[in-house]
Structure 1
Amino acid sequence: MERTVHNSVDGKHPKYTTIPRGDKKGGWTTFRFIIGNVAGISLAFGGLIINLTVYLIQEFNIKSISAAKIFNVFNGCTAILPIAAAIIADSFSGCFSVIWISSLISSLGLFIIVLTAAISKLRPPHCENGSNLCRYPSQLQLAVLYVGLALASIGMAGGRFTIGSMGANQFDKPKHQGIFFNWYTFTMYISVGISSTLIVYIENSVSWALGFGVCLAANVFGLAIFLAGSGFYHHLKPQGSPFVRVARVIVASFRKRKMMLSLRSEDYCPGSDSADKKVTAFPSKFFNFLNRAALKAEGETKQDGSIKQPWRLCTVQDVEDFKTVVKILPLWSTGFFLSTPLVIQSSLGVLQVLAMDRHLGPHFQIPAGSVAVFSLIATCFTILLLDRFLFPLWKKFTHRPITPLQRVGIGHLLDIISMAVIALVEAKRLKIARLHGLQDQDNAVVPMSVFWLVPPLAISGIGEAFFVPGQVDFYYQEFPESLKSTSTALVSLYVGICFYLGNALIDLVRRTTGWLPDDINKGRLDNVYWLLCVLAGLNFCYYLVCACYYRYQNVETVKDLSE
């Protein structure tokens, strides 16, 4: 049997070809259902998260820096938990079940958040920002809020990145998977962009309850359209926990640490062959002490050659899969200080916006959460430009495609530039605040247009268009088959960790300097950005070293991308 897949001959115009497969499911037929789900979840996520800091400050009377830290905690949970969802998908239930169950959980969480906005008793009495008479929310009010945020976080985490792996699973060729990841990222960002304008406007100008209600409706829509395509998906069967196999490699190699390595392939256990997986018969020399895990000893195999004691003997393929993960880890670690500056910028940037002139004309004021749309628009436009024009031109003149690592490296560089520019903008804002004597006033608005933030936000968005799809594509292609869902969640994992690193860095700066008071007009937020710029620069140097020494595991992927 065959299935139809989308191919691009010249990088611009689609052509349909057929690729053999055991069933007719999968391919571009599933694209509309998967992208519809991505759009629904992302609309809901953006409408909740982008304006969360403002909601906490204005409706729950929470201090600005504390609200920014809650924002980071929520974002961190939403970004870390996908790794748990991916493990469940890879090991037990598959992607499909994880996605629809997660959507139900996030819908429940959003419903509770709608209640906090609709029922006045679930919020403290309203007061002006910065007033000493403001009442802090009660323990019950905070409990209801946190339960809603927790459920929304768990649900959105389970679906947002697992759907990316499931979408890529519908295609055979890495080239088609790369195209999918571009549109997957584009859809996420354009949806969040719509949230940051339309939904945020509803929340600020009409009703918080109505705005969050739109988020709930979008989430339910995403679930419905995903379930509508259930008969078309190609499902990969769970292969058991890949982390158990990783543990077995470590344990088996330690138990056999005194055995002599052999140069004969027949002394190693290759594992059973299958139609979709090429078996490695002889282990590589990299970290060769791990090869002992696949070295056969007496009594460890049955008469048919199968493994009798799995915690003493592993297959060569299991050993090589573990080595693949080890080789990728240094590159993965560079993501920490790539994303930490961005997450701090996203949380503290809202405080900047609240302290700047947001008027567009005499009567309209831009909602603080909507300013993020400039970064999102830049990301979406750049993805389209790269996919349709720049990358095909690059290939035409260099006769080779841009590699995922090159793409990520450009993103690193743009991240540094963004930090430097926003530091200069903040220095100018503080200078204007001093000239007008606003540092002596609590939470005063500086007469400086919020549009000064457009250049750094746009540069940041362009950088994300390079490194986000590049990272997801890189990890998906390079990770072993048994870790495909986990691979795409790894990007989310370090982003989530970075939200907590961001909180830790904010706490460190507040303890050791006077740069971050609750009123940023009295601080030096520009110095914080310069510190992040330096850290990002050092991290970029580390990335260059890791990228130069890395060798792609899947040579066939590189060849396929160049076809």
Structure 2
Amino acid sequence: MENPPDQTESKETLQQPITRRRTKGGLLTMPFIIANEGFEKVASYGLLQNMILYLMSDYRLGLVKGQTVLFMWVAATNFMPLVGAFLSDSYLGRFLTIVIASLSSLLGMVVLWLTAMLPQVKPSPCVATAGTNCSSATSSQLALLYTAFALISIGSGGIRPCSLAFGADQLDNKENPKNERVLESFFGWYYASSSVAVLIAFTVIVYIQDHLGWKIGFGIPAILMLLAGFLFVFASPLYVKRDVSKSLFTGLAQVVAAAYVKRNLTLPDHHDSRDCYYRLKDSELKAPSDKLRFLNKACAISNRDEDLGSDGLALNQWRLCTTDQVEKLKALVKVIPVWSTGIIMSINVSQNSFQLLQAKSMDRRLSSNSTFQIPAGSFGMFTIIALISWVVLYDRAILPLASKIRGRPVRVNVKIRMGLGLFISFLAMAVSATVEHYRRKTAISQGLANDANSTVSISAMWLVPQYVLHGLAEALTGIGQTEFFYTEFPKSMSSIAASLFGLGMAVANILASVILNAVKNSSKQGNVSWIEDNINKGHYDYYYWVLAILSFVNVIYYVVCSWSYGPTVDQVRNDKVNGMRKEEEEVIKLN
């Protein structure tokens, strides 16, 4: 543990970042940071959207096996940000983490492009007919494919959590009275710009893959990733680069160990506990909070002669931790129930492969007289359009109008936004089940029960409402959760705060794979189950209703978790501000 700095050093330390912000950082750095993640998202999402078709056609994987591979890939992609955040906050720093991750993503996309370019790295072309068995992919061929997926996941794990936190570092200024509003606006616009990148992936990249083939469709994302890394490194002199702290997870583990070792220790009473807890001299925390009070034993001084050295520092950090370490672990533990409520919504959003097959079987023309068809993989753009539209309306219309009506700044509480998003996610799955029931019924009535490749005479525009609802749900809950984590955590945990939503998606994709296989196995009657390669034979509507029921139960679970959590940091701060305003108004009246 470092020696506690004296008062003069503390003042200098506080002054240094302020001076640095005046010469570095700011809005000038935003295009380079956002462009880096934007190009990465165009590349990675552009690859993902049609990937189930590539696996089924070129690698001859069935729907369930192919979707399971994609679930695991997406799970890894969303889990790796936690590793990237840990390395960034504790060892490498955000800038270096993003640079290394960009290189990994580029290598992964080049390897994936090679699977399309080189015939020998995948099964030979074959048309399955009666009496003909086409060879499946060998272990070495699949290993190369999975290597590409792994490198892309590693890259995403470094870029996604660090870009958001790195961007916030450029704008975060505690001396600015409007700092909270600036960060809220930044989170919203950051997600909106990232969503524009995903929108381009869902339209341009998917269209290229459908019409120009996999070779060009995989090559362009690799070129975009090269450009992303170049732009980010080019602007290196402009960035604010915060120093890393010691290993965050080591500090959290020390709290658990110390609390367990001193589990039988009796904590001091509140009125005489001021000098009974170990803290650094420059720490603002005089004593730990009352919530999760059993963890306070980790920083409680039981015997000064045995716990502290002559310099006032802890002799054994695995027996005595600082109040700051304890509060960091408390912050992480406290948000876990609220974090878990976003998993079901992420499961709902991850059903894109089934929606792709639905769109592929429907009439995708804009009108009966049109010859242009929307690519089946591009329907996800309606989710992104809805997300962007909400961010713009909320930030530029709803909040300003409400503030004008109330005569003071108005903000919708983040917990209300998250809850509303989860309810809309339930509505999205209910609508999805209803539309699929109608689509399947129409297909059977037209004699297409055994022909999944023919087009059902029903407009694919019926799928748009469910995509829009998914976009609104993600705009409310996704952005809300990220803002919630960022404001509730200490700044030293900002990258982990940014990666928690992605971690939820990782868990969601693993659970989605479990649910998918459980539904397929439990619903099988004879040789047919609810989940079949032939979408007209299966009962995808029943599968969607299972997810809808889980989503409704999740809304009730969220209400309980939100109530149990208590007031957020913003609520406490606003209550204090409102209390001070009322006192000032009363003083004015008395005078």
2:188 aligned with 1:176, yes or no?
no
In structure 2, C-alpha distance between the alignment counterparts of 1:304 and 1:554, rounded to whole Å: 38
Q: Give the counterpart of 1:285 among 263, 287, 290.
A: 290
Q: CA deviation at 1:356?
A: 2.1
Counterpart of 2:542, as a letter, is N
Q: Does 1:472 align with 2:482?
A: yes
**Do residues 489 (structure 1) and 495 (structure 2) align?**
no
3-state SS, counterpart of residue 449 of structure 2: helix
Partner deviation per Cα, 1:107-133 (whole Å, 9 max, x = no partner): 001001111112222232334589864
Q: Is 1:445 matched up with 2:455?
A: yes
- Counterparts of 1:135-534 in structure 2 under 5 Å? 135-170=135-170, 171-172=172-173, 173-263=179-269, 264-274=272-282, 278-296=283-301, 297=303, 298-343=305-350, 345-360=351-366, 363-397=371-405, 399=408, 400-441=410-451, 443-513=453-523, 514-534=529-549
3-state secondary structure, aligned to 2:458: strand
Deviation at 1:311, TM superposition (A): 0.7
Secondary structure of residue in 1 paired with 2:536: helix
Rounded to whole Å, the distance in 2 between the matches of 1:537 and 1:21 is: 50
User: Residues of 2 paired with 1:100 and 1:527: CA distance?
Assistant: 45
Partner amino acid for 2:426? I
The structure-2 alpha-carbon separation of the partners of 1:97 and 1:194, relative to structure 1 and needing over 3 Å to count, comes to same
Q: CA deviation at 1:266?
A: 4.3
CA shift for structure 1 position 21: 4.0
Supply the AA of the counterpart residue of 1:457: Y
Whether the 8 Å contact between 1:68 and 1:347 is mirrored in structure 2 is yes
Tell whether the 8 Å contact from 1:253 to 1:292 is kept in structure 2 after alignment.
Answer: yes
Equivalence for 1:46:
45
The answer to whether the 8 A contact 2:160-2:499 is kept is no
- Counterpart in the other structure of 1:3: none
C-alpha separation between the residues in 1 aligned to 2:292 and 2:105?
43
In 2, Cα distance between equivalents of 1:558 and 1:41 = 37
| Structure 2 residue matching 1:39: 3-state secondary structure | helix
Per the TM alignment, residue 25 of structure 1 is displaced from its structure 2 partner at its CA by: 1.8
Contact 1:270 1:279 in 2 (8 A): no
Aligned mates of 2:575, 2:129 — CA distance in 1:
60
Unpaired stretches in structure 1, ≥5 consecutive residues: 1-18
2:93 maps to 1:94: yes
State the match for 2:29 in structure 1. 30
Task: Give the distance between the partners of 1:346 and 1:161, measured in 2 at CA.
Answer: 23
Map Cα deviations across residues 316-341 of structure 1 (whole Å, 9 max, x no partner).
Answer: 22222222222211111111222112
Q: Indicate the SS of the match to 2:457.
A: strand
What is the rounded CA distance, in whole Å, between the counterparts of 1:411 and 1:180 in structure 2?
20
- TM-score under structure 2 length normalisation: 0.87
Measure, in 2, the Cα distance between the counterparts of 1:26 and 1:126: 53
Contact 1:72 1:347 in 2 (8 A): no
Distance 2:576 2:35 in 1: 28
Instruction: Provide the C-alpha distance between the structure 2 equivalents of 1:369 and 1:163, rounded to a whole number of angstroms.
Output: 27
TM-score, with normalisation over the residues of structure 1? 0.91
Kindly indicate whether the alpha-carbon contact (under 8 Å) linking 2:20 and 2:240 is maintained by their aligned counterparts in 1: no
Change (3 A) 1:130 1:458: farther
Letter in 2 for 1:52: M
- Give the residue type in structure 2 aligned to 1:502: A
Q: Return the alpha-carbon distance in structure 2 between the equivalents of residues 130 and 245 of structure 1.
A: 61
| Shift in Å, 1:422 | 1.0
| Match in the other structure for 2:125 | 126
Any idea what SS the aligned residue of 1:258 has? coil
Structure 2 residue 558 is the aligned partner of structure 1 residue 543: yes
- In the alignment, the residues of structure 1 paired with residue 472 and residue 342 of structure 2 have an alpha-carbon distance, to the nearest angstrom, of 17
Shift of 1:402: 0.8
Could you say which structure has the larger radius of gyration?
A: 2
Tell me the residue number matched to 2:61.
Answer: 62
Unaligned runs of 5+ in 2: 1-16, 174-178, 524-528, 582-591
**In 2, distance between residues paired with 1:192 and 1:267?**
53
Deviation at 1:252, TM superposition (A): 1.0
Q: Displacement of 1:62 after TM fit?
A: 2.0
- CA distance in structure 2 between the partners assigned to 1:558 and 1:226 by the alignment: 37
Distance 2:469 2:263 in 1: 51
**In structure 2, what is the Cα distance between the partners aligned to 1:85 and 1:220?**
20
Q: Judge conservation of contact 1:102–1:156 (CA < 8 Å) in 2.
A: yes
Q: 1:522 aligns to what SS in structure 2?
A: coil
Render the CA deviation track for 1:23-48: whole Å, top value 9, x for unaligned. 42222121111111121111111211
CA contact (8 A) 1:426 1:525 kept: yes
8 Å contact kept, 2:161–2:496: no
The CA distance in 2 between the partners of 1:560 and 1:141, in whole Å, is 62
Q: Please state how far the C-alpha of 1:61 moved relative to its aligned partner.
A: 2.4
Contact 1:61 1:126 in 2 (8 A): no
CA deviation string 1:59-87 (max 9, x = no partner): 22222222222221111111111000000
Cα RMSD, aligned residues only: 2.2
CA contact (8 A) 2:450 2:534 kept: no
Evaluate the alpha carbon distance shift between residue 184 and residue 378 of structure 1 in structure 2; reply closer, same or farther with a 3 A threshold: same
| Cα pair 2:63 2:532 within 8 Å, conserved | no
**Are the equivalent residues in 1 in contact too, given 2:75–2:509 (CA < 8 A)?**
yes
Separation in structure 2 between the aligned mates of residue 212 and residue 558 of structure 1, nearest angstrom = 49
**Residues 352 and 283 of structure 1: CA distance in aligned 2, closer, same or farther (over 3 Å):** same
Greater Cα offset, 443-452 or 193-202: 443-452
Amino acid at match of 1:338: M
Find the counterpart in structure 1 of residue 3 from structure 2. Answer: none
Question: How far did residue 283 of structure 1 move?
Answer: 2.1
Shift of 1:246: 1.4
d(CA) in 2 for partners of 1:553 and 1:141?
A: 51
Determine the structure 1 residue equivalent to 2:585.
none
Give the number of aligned pairs: 541
- For the 8 Å contact 1:165–1:488, the answer to whether it is kept is yes
Give yes or no for contact 1:54–1:369 (8 Å, CA) kept in 2: no
Give the AA of the match of 2:555: F
Moved more, 299-308 or 76-85: 299-308
- Paired residue type of 1:312: R
State the match for 1:11 in structure 2. Answer: none
Contact 1:78 1:156 in 2 (8 A): yes
2:83 and 2:157 in contact (8 A); partners too:
no
Q: Give how far 1:89 is off.
A: 0.6
For residues 152-203 of structure 1, give each alpha carbon's deviation from its aligned partner in whole angstroms, at most 9, with x where no partner exists. 1211222122211111122222322221111211111111111111111111
Percent identical residues: 33
Structure 1 residues 51 and 558 mapped into 2: Cα distance closer, same or farther (>3 Å)? farther
Shift of 1:552: 1.3
CA–CA separation in structure 2 for the residues paired with 1:304 and 1:251: 24
Maintained 8 Å contact 1:271/1:306? no
Query: Per-residue CA shift, 1:247-289, capped at 9, x if unaligned?
Result: 1111111211222211323443342244xxx521122222222
Q: CA deviation at 1:561?
A: 11
